[in-house]
Amino acid sequence: MFGRSWVCVGVVVAALAAVEVLGGMTGQAGAERRSDEPAVFSGRIFRSNGSPVAGANVTLHEALVGKPPFETRILAETTSTQDGAFRFRVSVEDAPDRDGPPYGTVVVQKEGLSIGWASWPNVHLDRQRDITLTEPKDLAGTVVDAQGQPVESAAVFAVGGQYLRRPSQAEPAEHLYTGIARRLLTATTDAAGRFLVRGLSAEGRFELAAKKAGYGVAYTWKPERPPETELLLVPGQMDLRMVLAPEARIEGQVVEKASGQPIANVEIAALCSRTSRLLWPTPVRSDNDGAFAMEGLLADEYILRLAEPREQPAEWVAPSTTQVVQTGAVKRDVRIELSKGGLVEVAVVDACEPTPVPGAVVRVRSLSAGTGIHQSLTKADGVAQFRLAPGEYRLQDLHKPGYSRGARNETFTVEEGRTQRLACTFRPLAVLTGMVRDDTGRPLPGTAVRVYPMGAEQVLADAQGRFRVTWDPNGWPPKATNYLVALDRQRRLACVERTVKDHSEVELTLRPAATFVGQVIDIDDRGIPGAEVQVMLWGPAWGSRLFRNETLRTDGQGKFEIDTIPPGHKYRIHVTADGYGRTETDRDPNEVIVGRVEVGTLHLAAANRAVSGIVVDAQDKPVPYASIGTIAGPTTGQRDVRTRTDAEGRFRLEGLCAGPVHLQAAARVEGANLYTNVWTQADTTDLRIVLARKN
């Protein structure tokens, strides 16, 4: 949820690396870079009303994945310019691969405004994101013990943040990495057990934890909630209650299976298979006598397994062991028996050229040993090594920037003391190269180029107007029509090439484009400032967001002008705003001509209504933590809003417009997927939703 493999609750290491910081330069997002080229994260910072934020502190954090409890380090720091712009440049030397592409988070802080953030899932690829800072909100409450008495001097901290509003439906929500949240969003309880966590974003959702020696860690995230559940705490809640129960402990010894001799310095992790990683405790190491102790645990079922090193195969292996602990109890004499297991080598070769592929992430899944997913990185010879406990495994997947990511299904058996080698091929992404020019033949450096709808991040043409763009055709029908789109926002020139073939040399001539002009108003005909406008380009059997890396908003009067629209194609304009619903309008190819194209006036209804009720299964039993949300669309004017049922199956879904509401509810109950779709009306207070088994 907050990075790869683990959730960080550790300390941030503020080690500044030699990263170039360029304030005020906001280019379009680029492509996967060559190893000798820095990658760029650029964007602008806005208030909720769309005005830029100058003088904000902007930091780039890298997650030190593979070092649980996860640490982060600050790669770079800058200040936003007068127009809210910022830019970071990071080279491979600044942030080398460790167990895969480095994971970054951009964090924004400004006195008097909320915290803001954006994910950079791979700092070796260019990315552009605008970040919105809202009026600051708080989370407050009380920490008590099991007898209801206040607990003084307990540390309270956020264990993560999440924006529920997404740049587009095709993209995941943005997460605030857990280690960063813990460091920046903190409080300490007073003598009455009260706490106040300040500076939260009104657009985010959070979860909190409380910790004090001698107690199990308390979380607002309930253990019985599904691991994939979204964060629930809405800033502004002031009556939270967190209960610190007496800690549970697991104590034991690590020994060599063959000799019974204790083994020191072995790192042991505890996983909770039924709960979110937010609740997983910090790994511990065995001492010189092989002894280990896990403290501050909640009553739960824990799976103990060896934590794997990232740079080389593990020295030892052991089957996982499941331990159940109760509040205040100590589980003693847990014995973990180590062996050398079997060595597995996975050789990865380029499918187009028979050469090794270094730096690829290889993942295998345990099918019988109960040790979960194991991950390794191919070395210079293209080989990834694993030391695994005996049992059945599946080669899960491969991943490396520049290659097509896909699931694998090969299964294999690991035997004690045996070395085996697996071979697999890895297909590079499709490649297009070419030149962009205007209609006089002049090169157009800086033009953004991307393949739609299946392209990777867009690229920028170089000083000679040349470009190299990649895309992944896997998972798309072989005969599907793709568009190669080139946009020069500075000169307002555009081009669309309908047919795209792999490894083609393409000459693109950009010509003057269209500009969509319109206004967003409420039911009283008042302009809505800061409304978000999205332009969808429609091709044969698909639609894709034209400006994927930009947030387009209305001005103070609710007006918008969106330039660089390639003429002669079909578009759909989506509009949403905080506190309002959504609407959309289409423009056919013959309507989109060079120059100004009037979109007209778009009305948004106020989203100040709600629906509440209960979700039950076919046996009329309440379903806790079921997902429920709107099916957004033009027929209702409702925007995409979601929530979860509580422990008793009850829910309240806010942010709705008056009129019909189309809802979808889903849950996983006893291994079965349940779902249903229902229609209702806003302001319904006793809605009963019955989930059925999903085929």
- Residue 98 confidence (pLDDT): 59
- Residue 31 confidence (pLDDT): 38
As beta bridge partners, residue 78 has 58
Q: Which amino acid makes up residue 606? A: A
Q: Which amino acid makes up residue 305? A: R
Residue that wins the pLDDT comparison between 70 and 570: 570
Q: Which amino acid makes up residue 102? A: P
Identify the burial level of 520 via C-beta atoms within 10 angstroms of its C-beta, where 0-12 means exposed, 13-18 middle and 19 or more buried.
buried
Quick: pLDDT tens for 340-361: 999 999 999 998 888 999 988 8
Tell me the pLDDT of the chain averaged across its residues.
85
Contact between 270 and 351 under an 8 Å Cβ cutoff? The reply is no
Put residue 176 in one of left, alpha, beta given phi > 0 → left and psi -120 to 50 → alpha. beta
Backbone dihedral angles phi then psi of residue 97, each to the nearest 5 degrees: -60, 140
Domains of the chain: 1-209 (2.60.40.1120), 248-338 (2.60.40.10), 342-426 (2.60.40.10), 430-512 (2.60.40.1120), 514-603 (2.60.40.1120), 609-693 (2.60.40.1120)
- Is residue 104's pLDDT more than 70? yes
Residue 501 CB partners (closer than 8 Å, separation 6+): none
- Residue 667 confidence (pLDDT): 86
Tell me how far apart the alpha carbons of residues 479 and 496 are, in angstroms, rounded to a whole number.
18
Average pLDDT of 655-661? 94
Q: CA angle, corner 171, sides to 233 and 637, nearest 5? A: 75
Q: How far lies 530's CA from each of 286, 574, 577, 596, in Å?
A: 55, 14, 7, 21
- Is residue 652's pLDDT more than 60? yes
Contact between 611 and 687 under an 8 Å Cβ cutoff? The reply is yes
Residue 676 CB partners (closer than 8 Å, separation 6+): 664, 665, 689, 690, 691, 692
Name the token pair of 367.
Answer: 């099918």
The single residue listed with the structure tokens 């660089």 is 564
Confidence of residue 434 (pLDDT cuts 50, 70, 90): very high
Residue that wins the pLDDT comparison between 130 and 12: 130
Tell me how far apart the alpha carbons of residues 12 and 17 are, in angstroms, rounded to a whole number.
14
Q: CA angle, corner 362, sides to 360 and 365, nearest 5? A: 170
Contact between 574 and 154 under an 8 Å Cβ cutoff? The reply is no
Quick: pLDDT tens for 245-268: 999 999 999 999 999 999 999 999
- Residue 17 confidence (pLDDT): 33
**From 73-87, 88-102, 206-220, 626-640, the region with the lowest mean pLDDT:** 88-102
Quick: pLDDT tens for 546-578: 987 777 899 999 999 999 999 999 999 999 998
- Residue 561 confidence (pLDDT): 96
Write out the E strands in 236-366. 240-244, 248-256, 267-271, 284-285, 291-297, 300-306, 321-325, 330-338, 342-350, 361-366
- Residue 550 confidence (pLDDT): 77
pTM, rounded to two decimals: 0.67
Put residue 426 in one of left, alpha, beta given phi > 0 → left and psi -120 to 50 → alpha. beta
**From 37-51, 165-179, 281-295, the region with the lowest mean pLDDT:** 165-179
DSSP string computed for 344-379 = EEEEEEESSSS-B-TT-EEEEEESSS---EEEEE--
Kindly state the DSSP code that residue 262 receives in the 8-state scheme.
B
User: 3-state class of 225 per DSSP?
Assistant: coil
**From 81-95, 396-410, 529-543, 636-650, the region with the lowest mean pLDDT:** 396-410
Residue 458: enclosing H or E segment and its boundaries?
Answer: none
Average pLDDT of 625-635? 85
DSSP string computed for 194-208 = EEEEEEE-TTEEEEE
Contact between 242 and 216 under an 8 Å Cβ cutoff? The reply is no
Quick: pLDDT tens for 462-494: 999 999 888 877 766 666 788 899 999 999 999
Q: Which amino acid makes up residue 71? A: E
Kindly state the DSSP code that residue 110 receives in the 8-state scheme.
-
Q: CA gyration radius for the chain?
A: 27
Confidence of residue 100 (pLDDT cuts 50, 70, 90): low
Q: How far lies 202's CA from each of 266, 386, 578, in Å?
A: 43, 45, 11
Contact between 392 and 363 under an 8 Å Cβ cutoff? The reply is no
Quick: pLDDT tens for 125-161: 788 889 999 999 999 999 999 999 999 999 999 988 8
Average pLDDT of 58-71? 73
Identify the burial level of 379 via C-beta atoms within 10 angstroms of its C-beta, where 0-12 means exposed, 13-18 middle and 19 or more buried.
middle
Name the token pair of 431.
Answer: 């490649």
Residue 278 CB partners (closer than 8 Å, separation 6+): 1, 7, 159, 160, 178, 207, 209, 219, 221
Contact between 383 and 346 under an 8 Å Cβ cutoff? The reply is yes
Question: For the chain, how long is the longest CA-to-CA vector?
Answer: 82
Sign of CA dihedral 634, 640, 644, 645: negative
In total, the chain counts a number of residues equal to 695
The single residue listed with the structure tokens 């800061």 is 530
- Pairing status of strand 504-512 against strand 430-438: parallel
- Is residue 230's pLDDT more than 70? no
Q: Which amino acid makes up residue 285? A: R
- Is residue 370's pLDDT more than 70? no
Average pLDDT of 171-190? 85
- Residue 24 confidence (pLDDT): 36
Residue 165 CB partners (closer than 8 Å, separation 6+): 173, 203
Confidence of residue 438 (pLDDT cuts 50, 70, 90): very high
Tell me how far apart the alpha carbons of residues 64 and 692 are, in angstroms, rounded to a whole number.
43
Quick: pLDDT tens for 295-311: 988 888 888 989 887 67
Average pLDDT of 589-593? 95
Name the token pair of 273.
Answer: 């298979």
User: 3-state class of 589 per DSSP?
Assistant: helix
DSSP string computed for 156-197 = EEEEEEEESS-SSTTSPPPEE-HHHHHHHSEEE--TT-EEEE
Contact between 93 and 62 under an 8 Å Cβ cutoff? The reply is no
